[in-house]
Amino acid sequence: MDIKKLDTKFVLSTYARTDVEFVSGKNATLLDANAKKYIDFTAGIGVVSVGHANERVNEAITKQIAKLTHASNLYHIAPQAKAAQKIVDASGYDMQCFFGNSGAEANEGAIKIARKYGEINGEVKKYKIITLTHSFHGRTITTVKATGQEAMHNYFGPFPDGFVYAKDVDEIKSLLDNHTCAVMIELVQGEGGVEAQNKEKIQNLEKLLRSKNILLIVDEVQTGGYRTGEFLASQVYGITPDIITLAKGIGGGVPIGVVMTSLKDVLKAGDHGSTFGGNYLSCAATCEVMDILKEYKESGELERHSLVFNQAVNSLYEKHQDIFTAKVGIGMMCGLRVKDADTLSRIISNAKDNGVMVLKAGRNTLRFLPPLTITREEIDEGFKSLESAINSI
């Protein structure tokens, strides 16, 4: 059956799909329906952190499915409790977790915690949340409004009130008032162009917010799970947020979202919930992914492969200064600014034709989010193909 025709007829056209159908994969290598091979520098937009068809994750999922997939959060769920322990231990923070199914859900949970905290603490109702203009926090009505990119707001209003946008970290201070309950930021913006925030400015912001009893929410949906070298980008930046959100890479391909917070007593039974969140299947996968990534980090392999990958990105940047204007990002979340949108589109299209998958992000950025377990051989092959794609422009 022609999958493209089937897709066009029955699936809403909310995605500008690239004309390729993948049928199998192994680590950072994919095969399409015509048996063509590709090196994957996207990891399903930062999701497949331990590679495609990871044998340990597959085994953990298979064992769990044979016993129980779902029973609901009305009962104790052993894999959920174990996943929470692994996540908290890896963070080094004194926090507890709530489990959902996506990054947007995680951010919704974070917003609810912040709003309730602002309601019950202080003499006036604190409900405003400040985000950045190039931010991206999700696709639900509330997280679309939390997203500072104006183009995302078209057609979908009216929105929940109380979101204020700062053009950069420096402007946040001037926007704080008695009704501000939280500041919500990505330490490395993903959709906003792989833009890493200044470390000293973030540390100063944390101190300022703490002095005013305003919460710091860090959206680590894309940066979490060792993507920036540590389990959390918050650790790289040397800060202790009040609330952290996770998703993507910690599930290794199985949908999961997590809110971590030190505010353990704000939400009470009935304040928040999720039918599917934290079920046996997703948490069994997450437990295994967390174990694999911890071993990978402690062995030094993560740092070594990240160094090799970034050296290859740097080499590409230095060779093609007529096309690229800057290298951006941290660790295995990096990118290259491209001189214009048309050139970026041609690079991505040519790359696919040459057997390597890459991403685009805001501010005309060529974005790289490879599986963290990508091998040296896959890196070499992928950048060789990407070099050919650029040379063919």
In the structure encoding, which two tokens stand for residue 356, read together?
Answer: 């390597």
Interatomic CA distance for residues 348 and 360, integer angstroms:
8
Q: Count CB-CB contacts under 10 A for residue 143.
A: 26
Could you tell me which of 108, 68, 311 has the C-alpha nearest to residue 219?
108
Question: With a threshold of 0.95, does the pTM exceed it?
Answer: yes
Question: CATH number for the domain including 112?
Answer: 3.40.640.10
What's residue 1's pLDDT?
Answer: 62
**Tell me: the pLDDT tens digits for 37-51?**
999 999 999 999 999
User: Is 181 part of any domain?
Assistant: yes
Domain that holds residue 188: 57-298
Interatomic CA distance for residues 159 and 264, integer angstroms:
28
In the predicted model, is pLDDT for residue 122 greater than 90? Answer: no
Determine contact, residues 188/194, Cβ cutoff 8 Å.
yes
Given pLDDT bands bounded at 50, 70 and 90, which one contains residue 123? confident
In the structure encoding, which two tokens stand for residue 367, read together?
Answer: 């974005």
Could you tell me which of 183, 151, 154, 141 has the C-alpha nearest to residue 166?
183
User: Is 246 part of any domain?
Assistant: yes
User: Is 286 part of any domain?
Assistant: yes
**Number of independent structural domains in the chain:** 1
Interatomic CA distance for residues 355 and 389, integer angstroms:
9
User: Is 258 part of any domain?
Assistant: yes
**Tell me: the pLDDT tens digits for 216-267?**
999 999 999 999 999 999 999 999 999 999 999 999 999 999 999 999 999 9
User: Is 206 part of any domain?
Assistant: yes
User: Is 106 part of any domain?
Assistant: yes
Question: Span 289-302, mean pLDDT?
Answer: 98
User: Is 122 part of any domain?
Assistant: yes
**Tell me: the pLDDT tens digits for 136-166?**
999 999 999 999 999 999 999 999 999 999 9
In the predicted model, is pLDDT for residue 302 greater than 80? Answer: yes
In the predicted model, is pLDDT for residue 198 greater than 70? Answer: yes
User: Is 109 part of any domain?
Assistant: yes
Three-state SS at 128? strand
